Amino acid sequence: MFYHLLYPLHTQFSAFNVFRYLTFRSIGAAVTAFLILFLSGPVFIRWLQKKQIGQVVRDDGPESHFSKKGVPTMGGLLILVAIAGSTLLWADLGNSLVWVCLLLTLFYGLIGSVDDWKKVAKSDTKGLSARGKLILQVTGACMVGLFLHLHPGYDGNLSLPFLKGIQPDLGWWYIPFAVAVIVGSSNAVNLTDGLDGLASGTVMITAAVYFIFAYAAGNILISDYLQLPYVLGAGEVAVFCGTIVGACLGFLWFNSYPAQIFMGDVGSLALGGALGAVAIIIKQEFLLAIAGGVFVMEVLSVILQVGYFKISGGKRIFLMAPFHHHFEKKGWAEPRVVIRFWIISIILGLMALATLKLR
């Protein structure tokens, strides 16, 4: 909105020329999203408490989590408001890629909100059936994959980190590949959201990394120099990434240990889907396995645990899965687990940035 309303005034007032720059608008988007969370957070928390929209805790979870029962949940609604509001204010709304990111995020947020509401209303930790949730997620991701495949100038080529000049073309198979990335990313963040501040912190770090890649992918000179796939209009996706960073930072103010509010599935499914959509749009799909390595680690821990449990007839690799609960069972304090996972996420983020030169 600001881009359309204020930038045209630069011919009369040169100061308005700053609205042309992606860096300025991305920072503005991040600050705006942060302030929306920071200022409205206390009011929203009190409203959730009044409506008794509280966390439902699993009976088989760590004992330290029993005290979390009743803590306000569905805080992801506020994250979505911040992301949507800030995107509408600071992004170029004539850019279709921005709308793809935003609409996919909101759709996944809708799935998560229904899931959360079923849990809260019925005091049931199961929520939506896994099958129903997956069908909805796949439907949304299919729409994104189909749109991009039919988008002028867009192709089904893959960008592989560390492998210069190798870009296999998947053709129509790019659509199911996009679905796998988006749905996988969404569910991975959902699995990670088990400790105070863990998901919001790691998503923030990953989104910051993708902000840099989106900016580079949308600039024909920078992308050529760094040998990245150039995607027309991808620069505006950097503004969207800025809103995620700001929203997660603002939410972390209230979600850090001991949490005053949880994001719920409405937040985790939406944020994971957003990261997946960004990765697909700027053609850095495999980079998500590096920058979002913590999410990959969490998913693999569940797959290994379940698989080994079935094969071995009841034995376990970890004390509990996802992986972060394993360390809780070993006696680590929750803040220690979270901060160390953040450190790992930062290291992985730096490794992802290093791929800019290692090509």
For the annotated binding site, the residues are 190, 265
Tell me which residue of 196, 213, 174 sits closest to 292, measured CA to CA.
Answer: 213
3-class secondary structure, 169: strand
50, two tokens = 């009044």
Q: Which residues are annotated as a binding site for Mg(2+)?
A: 190, 265
Rounded distance, CA 181 to CA 272, Å? 10
Q: Tell me the chain's radius of gyration from C-alpha atoms.
A: 20
Report the alpha-carbon distance of residue 140 to residue 208 in Å, rounded. 24
Cβ contact 262:75 at 8 Å: yes
Q: How far apart are CA 282 and CA 222, in angstroms?
A: 14
Which amino acid, 307? G
- DSSP states of 60-89: TS-GGGGGGTT-B--THHHHHHHHHHHHHH
Tokens 């970890």 belong to 318
Tokens 């039919």, residue?
150
Q: By three-state DSSP, how is residue 338 classified?
A: helix
What is the Cα–Cα distance from 27 to 247, expressed in whole angstroms?
12
